[in-house]
Chain A
């Protein structure tokens, strides 16, 4: 069925094109805005945009972030944290007074993930200043559901990893030559306005997105 459908659709499309020539990219007109901000500007822009959609940013340092995580969670009365034991996130938090749950083999603990783990801390690959977005490439240490299912998502972001735009990120990181299984842009906590246009956070994903910005 599908094979026949395929050849029918493709031949209808080819017939539809007739002898018209394909348009080359060099013939594109118009342009997208591009930005070249300084490091300070990039950081400011990122913080402004992600804060405007309820992302919470804590500016901290290479030495200071583990303590910041501990404080933030204590304030929220959370003492369990899902974290990769193989990444610096888990390793540097090991001595803190937090119950760490290792994110490796997370897929074997679906119930726990869905109904009891209160928070997760992940790293991120980079970020985008223009739109206030975090770029996540989930992997075996930090599987895809880790940044999605627990109600609070904390992210460790290095200030030097902030790009100007998505277009720049794609180029700088060579995405076109090979994409991983899943790339995510996360720009704030989950939200919806589907009931009478009234904004509510925590629709299906995390209700809180907390960024530890390491400068």
Chain B
């Protein structure tokens, strides 16, 4: 029953078709998204306060991005002063290699991981396995997916597509002394017991980071389970891995963003743990002897260079946009085929992977605007989707600098020609009249199959009379009856 969901073997259309035709998956997502939307709306009860807070959240993120290189340097200096080592990586490969180098330096064989979407982005686990280091995911959702050999389908609740029956079977097959049970408490306790052993013996702990504070040189981790706390407390070495955009200027900037993050994500006023790390252990207070931070670019500097697209980097990864997206709710996360699915994924992935590989994502949206309405930092997602659609069909002019990799990836001569004719037709009254007349006269010849359109819809047939001629006739009749009335009353 453990359904294998490979990511790269199918095209986007095929993945969409596969997942739309999976009723169990659709039920799981519908119920889960309804649940998360309810949680959010019941925690933000005062809309005036919420809008004020979102405005502040957007200000804080925009301000940080407006001085990002300076803040990164300030952060680095502060972290170094505190004893934390900072590494920079331009690509996934470089980031993975950095982690490997640190691990090998310590002769490490095992690694315990707190939740990190950036390590999913760089496919760190696959890389380390090949090099003889066994990473174990400790976030319950990620642990389930590691056992099932699947990828996350949601950035906050990674295993949301799995039913408890499927998880029960998975645990029965993979965990020592775990009998089949659908009792969730028992399942969690079984995983806790197994992972405790791993935490106890792991050489290295690796986690993501939610916020980095430049002013104090602090790494802030937000979670409910304690996997992040254990991974940053028990092993001798802690490696934190994150994107360069996650830095904020002041410690004062943290409280409003925390409130926005946890309430938007799961409707919690705060998560169980907020863990702020500012240095390796001093004396006997516990914690790792070494703390490393790996700062990853991997394409983030591309949207940064464009003022409109820079807003993509304001994201604090709460997942509210996917929870509220009618397309994501129906498709689930795997159909997108990228680490970050849903609306934020559709505006971020084209920068990380190039438009060639992601050309369908900006179109996988109805542009209903629910995402930007709930975004805690006010990213105008529909505007950015339209911008990416535009860049996808636009060829660069001579000497024009690219704003994204894969300009014009969706460009076709047919589409270009079709829109060219459409625009000519609609800007010339004479041409338009001729077209309307011939369309109505020749309506019998409308093809019953039109590529793309008629796959899911009936073929459109022009009416026997155009709206223009109907209006013309109507006016004529009105005039005639007015004339008649005028004549009759004399």
Contact = CB atoms under 8 A, between A and B. Distances in A.
Interface of A: 1-3, 5-6, 8-10, 12-17, 20-25, 27-33, 49, 53, 104-107, 110-111, 114-115, 130-133, 138-140, 143-146, 148-149, 165-167, 170, 175-176, 178-198, 200-206
Interface stretch (B268-276, B353-361, B439-447, B462-470): B268-276
Contact of A32 (B56, B72, B98, B306): B56
Interface residues of B, number: 104
B196 A114 contact: yes
Contacts of B268: 53
B287 A144 contact: yes
B224 interface: yes
Contact of A132 (B252, B254, B269): B269
Nearest to A105: B284
A111 B67 CA distance: 47
Contacts of B68: 13, 17
B404 to A, nearest CB: 13
B225 A190 contact: yes
Nearest to A21: B66
Contact of B287 (A131, A182, A190): A182
Given A132-B269, A175-B251, A10 B72 contact: yes
B272 A189 contact: yes
Contacts of B251: 170, 175-176, 179
B32 A33 contact: no
A1 B57 CA distance: 35
B132 interface: no
A106 B87 CA distance: 31
Contacts of A196: 162-164, 167, 184
Given A30-B56, A176-B215, A197-B35, 19 more contacts: A5-B90, A9-B297, A16-B310, A31-B56, A49-B269, A53-B268, A131-B269, A132-B269, A133-B270, A148-B226, A176-B250, A187-B271, A191-B224, A192-B225, A193-B157, A196-B163, A196-B167, A204-B226, A205-B272
A30 B54 contact: yes
Nearest to B251: A176
B476 interface: no
Contact of B258 (A166, A182, A188): A166
Contacts of B282: 181
B280 interface: yes
A25 B287 contact: no
A2 B272 contact: no
B275 A182 contact: yes
Interface stretch (B17-25, B134-142, B366-374, B452-460): B134-142
Contacts of A31: 52-53, 55-56
Contacts of B88: 2-3, 5-6, 9
Nearest to B283: A140
A203 B163 contact: no
B70 A22 contact: yes
Contact of A1 (B94, B192, B297): B94
A2 B98 contact: yes
B66 A20 contact: yes
Contacts of B258: 166
Given A110-B200, A195-B187, A25 B250 contact: yes
Contacts of A29: 55-56, 59
B216 A179 contact: yes
A16 B309 CA distance: 11
Contacts of B144: 194-195
B305 A15 contact: yes
A188 B274 CA distance: 11
23 contacts: A9-B301, A13-B301, A16-B306, A21-B66, A22-B67, A25-B249, A27-B59, A28-B60, A29-B55, A104-B284, A143-B284, A167-B256, A170-B252, A179-B218, A184-B276, A187-B271, A192-B188, A192-B225, A194-B140, A195-B144, A196-B164, A200-B187, A204-B192
A127 B192 CA distance: 28
B323 interface: no
Interface stretch (B116-124, B227-235, B337-345, B383-391): B227-235
Nearest to A24: B63
A103 to B, nearest CB: 10
A21 B66 CA distance: 7
B399 interface: no
Contacts of B51: 30
A165 B278 contact: no
A185 B274 contact: yes
B285 interface: yes
Contacts of B62: 23
